[in-house]
């Protein structure tokens, strides 16, 4: 999970560097798993963004599995305190779009 977080941060740095470039270069040097490749800047940005989305999914899945496995371990150990704590961790985050949808729009 730590390695996924490192990759995600490196992707953020790369995207930020591409966005803050004052001169839009036609091609940039891109590091893909230790191999340096020269790509058009738009293509490099697309690759980083798709990789970022995949990493987010992978991290979310890893976090879910970690919570699930910790809950199972607490049950196997019959640790009531840990089971109570883990029950509170089973909450899922809410997205911005879900918040927006839950707020009633003012009537005009």
Is pTM, for the whole model, over 0.75?
A: no
Q: What is the Cα–Cα distance from 4 to 56, expressed in whole angstroms?
A: 9
For the segment 62-94, what is each residue's pLDDT rounded down to a tens digit?
Answer: 888 888 887 787 777 777 777 777 666 666 677
Q: What are phi and psi of 79, to 5 degrees?
A: -95, 100
For the chain, the domains span 2-102
Q: 105: which DSSP letter? A: P
Q: Pull the structure tokens for residue 95.
A: 């997205």
Residue 19, judged by CB atoms within 10 A of its CB (0-12, 13-18, 19+), counts as exposed
For the segment 89-105, what is each residue's pLDDT rounded down to a tens digit?
Answer: 666 677 777 787 778 65
Residue 72, pLDDT score: 81
Q: Pull the structure tokens for residue 86.
A: 């883990």
For the segment 4-40, what is each residue's pLDDT rounded down to a tens digit?
Answer: 888 888 888 888 888 877 566 678 887 777 888 888 8
Q: Pull the structure tokens for residue 58.
A: 């992978």
């Amino acid at each position: 999970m730590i390695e996924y977080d490192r990759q995600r941060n490196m992707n953020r740095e790369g995207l930020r560097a591409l966005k803050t470039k004052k001169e839009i270069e036609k091609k940039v040097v891109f590091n893909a798993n230790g191999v340096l490749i020269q790509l058009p800047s738009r293509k490099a940005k697309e690759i980083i963004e798709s990789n970022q989305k995949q990493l987010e999914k992978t991290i979310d899945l890893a976090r879910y599995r970690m919570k699930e496995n910790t809950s199972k371990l607490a049950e196997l150990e019959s640790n009531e305190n840990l089971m109570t704590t883990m029950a509170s961790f089973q909450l899922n985050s809410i997205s911005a779009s879900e918040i927006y949808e839950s707020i009633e729009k003012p009537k005009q």
